[in-house]
Amino acid sequence: MNITVSIINGLMVGGLYGLFGLGLAFAFGIMRIVNIAHGEFIVLGAYLGATVLAATGLPLPLVVVCVALASFALGWLLQTAVLNRMIGANPVPAMVTMMGLSIIIRNALVEYFGADIRSIDVGPLQDQGVSILGVSIGVLPIMIFGLSIALFVAMHLLLTRTTLGRAFRAAADDYEILETLGYNRRRIYAIAMGLAVTLSAVAGFLLAMRSAYSPYSGVERLLISFEVVIIGGLGSLRGSFLAGLFLGVVQLVGLSINPNSGPLFGHLAFFTILLAKQANLPGLFLRRRT
């Protein structure tokens, strides 16, 4: 029974891991930016959500909306003011810039909030549960998992059914074609970075409702994001989602076996798959329909 509960909880956490990977892959696939600050954006979303929740007492859905809007504005401003000036054949300047930004964000969080490990108190919802087939499952994890699925579906529909999605795919393939169609490449890049940061920050806030976090949690979140992208492949939204589910299940089952293992079993599973995979990752992001 404990293994069954761990698998179910792993699926719930894995949905958020999939969002981590999607945010990272989205920025790289469209703009070829290796976002080293990705983990810090995830942690920043947790602190932002916790601050809004404590200061306003808004319902959780509205707090999620506030985090989404603020993180989109941050990503859009970052791309417009800084990264658009560095986009080119050489990815190193943007990567170094994002590395420096990650250090700035981490130290700013330590300076303002301190280095203590925190958790988000969501009130009575934290302890509410339902029984499904004799297994007790928390209401909050179910809600978070449902939102994760909704965000994946929304991204899929955006990329495949909208004009903006077609512009994203054109930018991923060849930005010169995008410009010949009359689009402003830099504006499309700004929207894409806004969405990438939004996915990361919202997932970070949702995960913080279930686990502890600190200003130094970004490194672990970044590592998980890279693992999800590599396992799932840069070319598949579905692959990122399934890879996140897989890592979540392995990690939670590992914790049920050894409570002191932390994310060890997830990392071991990643390296096992990495050794088994072929050398080339499947396709470039957005090159094929997902």
Summarised one tens digit per residue, pLDDT across range 70-104 is: 999 999 999 999 998 887 777 788 889 999 999 99
Write down the pTM of the prediction: 0.88
- Is 125 contained in some domain? no
For the chain, what is the domain count? Answer: 1
Expressed as residue numbers, the domain containing 67 is 2-119+138-276
CA pair distance 165, 212, nearest whole angstrom: 35
Q: What is the distance of C-alpha 198 from the center of its chain?
A: 8
Q: What is the CATH number of the domain that holds 258?
A: 1.10.3470
Which amino acid, one-letter code, is at 31? M
Which amino acid, one-letter code, is at 287? R
- Is 271 contained in some domain? yes
247, 228 Cβ separation under 8 angstroms:
yes
24, 34 Cβ separation under 8 angstroms:
no
- Is 256 contained in some domain? yes
- Is 282 contained in some domain? no
- Is 128 contained in some domain? no
CA pair distance 177, 170, nearest whole angstrom: 7
Q: What size, in residues, is the chain?
A: 290
Give the model confidence (pLDDT) of 197-224 as tens digits: 999 999 999 999 888 899 999 999 999 9
- Is 187 contained in some domain? yes
- Is 19 contained in some domain? yes
Neighbours of 140 (CB within 10 A): 19
CA pair distance 243, 281, nearest whole angstrom: 14
Q: What is the pLDDT along the chain (290 residues), one digit of tens a residue?
A: 578 888 888 888 898 899 898 888 888 888 888 889 999 999 999 999 999 999 998 888 999 999 999 999 999 999 999 998 887 777 788 889 999 999 999 999 999 999 899 988 887 777 777 777 667 778 888 888 999 999 999 998 998 899 888 888 888 777 777 777 788 888 999 999 999 999 999 999 999 988 889 999 999 999 999 999 888 877 677 888 889 999 999 999 888 888 887 788 888 888 888 887 655 544 434 444 44
- Is 286 contained in some domain? no
Can you spell out the DSSP letters for 132-176?
A: ETTEEEEHHHHHHHHHHHHHHHHHHHHHHHSHHHHHHHHHHH-HH
